């Protein structure tokens, strides 16, 4: 396994039209590979289709697809055509489609088109006046990091940045790079929270964090990659952009030699109850 690899965050605006979004993905992946030599391209949370707040539940349920549906199929074909790994968000049809809720799912596709992993968002954005749980059903399990040509990858989604236990779960299972597809909503203090939470999740676990955010009048953009010392490597604008970054996994060992805080944990103290 090489210690260095190139990741591109496709900070794009999703629309209600899946066909438009697929075409955006085609263009983004083509340019990420040809211009930036990307080996891994990350898209935002629920990239498959975006609907405004207060959209009727049935519209969202009807829009959802299975992992075998046309959207994932076309993204898998795109990965093969370009010889690149893809990570993207979708709305996944639940086991009970008439229940009025779907899953907020992230899919990891390899360069040969196979699905290497999936994750259903477990902690839902019922905050700042929004209630994601009205239309999204929570997943039951945290993501188990997977081994890839780019090291061991962990994963969680957007609002879950606010739960340090989730990032620590990934790191404790060997994650070297944590991917965070997001749809971070604009608002007072929100951009401040975004940059600080991404940074501290990287620093407290001494891992890389790759946080790819949607961009629009509703979402704030400003995607970023932060290294294990909490240093921002790439930061994005408030507009659509392809953000390339070369990650060197040897940086993790270098940082942990200087800052062994992860090894200094005393887990036996954290589970005590009064």
Residues with active-site annotation: 45, 121, 158
User: How far apart are the C-alpha atoms of 194 and 92, rounded to whole Å?
Assistant: 26
Residue 53's CB is within 10 A of a number of other CB atoms, namely 11
Instruction: Please tell me what DSSP assigns to residue 264.
Output: T
User: How far apart are the C-alpha atoms of 116 and 102, rounded to whole Å?
Assistant: 21
> Strands 241-248 and 85-92: what pairing?
unpaired
Angle at 158 between CA 157 and CA 159, to 5 degrees: 110
Q: State both tokens at 129.
A: 């006046």
Residue 150 Cα distances to 33, 64, 84, 214, 237, angstroms: 16, 30, 12, 24, 26
Instruction: Please tell me what DSSP assigns to residue 33.
Output: H
């Amino acid at each position: 396994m090489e210690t260095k690899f190139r990741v591109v965050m496709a900070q794009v605006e999703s629309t209600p039209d899946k066909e438009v979004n697929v075409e955006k993905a085609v263009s983004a992946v083509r340019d990420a590979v040809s211009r930036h030599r990307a080996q891994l391209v990350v898209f935002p949370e629920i990239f498959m289709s975006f609907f405004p707040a207060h959209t009727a539940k049935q519209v969202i349920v009807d829009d959802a697809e299975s992992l075998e549906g046309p959207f994932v199929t076309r993204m898998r074909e795109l990965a093969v055509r370009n010889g690149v790994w893809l990570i993207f968000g979708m709305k996944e049809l639940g086991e009970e489609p008439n229940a009025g809720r779907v899953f907020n799912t992230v899919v990891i596709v390899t360069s040969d088109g196979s699905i290497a992993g999936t994750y259903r968002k477990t902690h839902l954005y019922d905050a700042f006046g929004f209630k994601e749980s009205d239309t999204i059903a929570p997943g039951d399990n945290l993501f188990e990091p997977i081994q890839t040509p780019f090291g061991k990858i962990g994963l969680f989604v957007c609002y879950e940045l606010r739960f340090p236990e989730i990032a620590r779960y990934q790191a404790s299972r060997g994650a070297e790079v944590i991917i965070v597809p997001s749809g971070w909503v604009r608002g007072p203090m929100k951009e401040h929270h975004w940059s600080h939470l991404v940074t501290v999740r990287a620093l407290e676990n001494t891992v890389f964090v790759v946080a790819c955010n949607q961009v629009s009048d509703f979402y704030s953009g400003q995607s970023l990659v932060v290294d294990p010392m909490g240093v921002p490597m790439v930061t994005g604008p408030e507009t659509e952009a392809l953000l390339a970054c070369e990650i060197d996994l040897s940086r993790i060992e270098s940082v942990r030699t200087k800052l062994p805080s992860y090894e200094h944990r005393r887990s036996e103290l954290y589970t005590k109850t009064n």
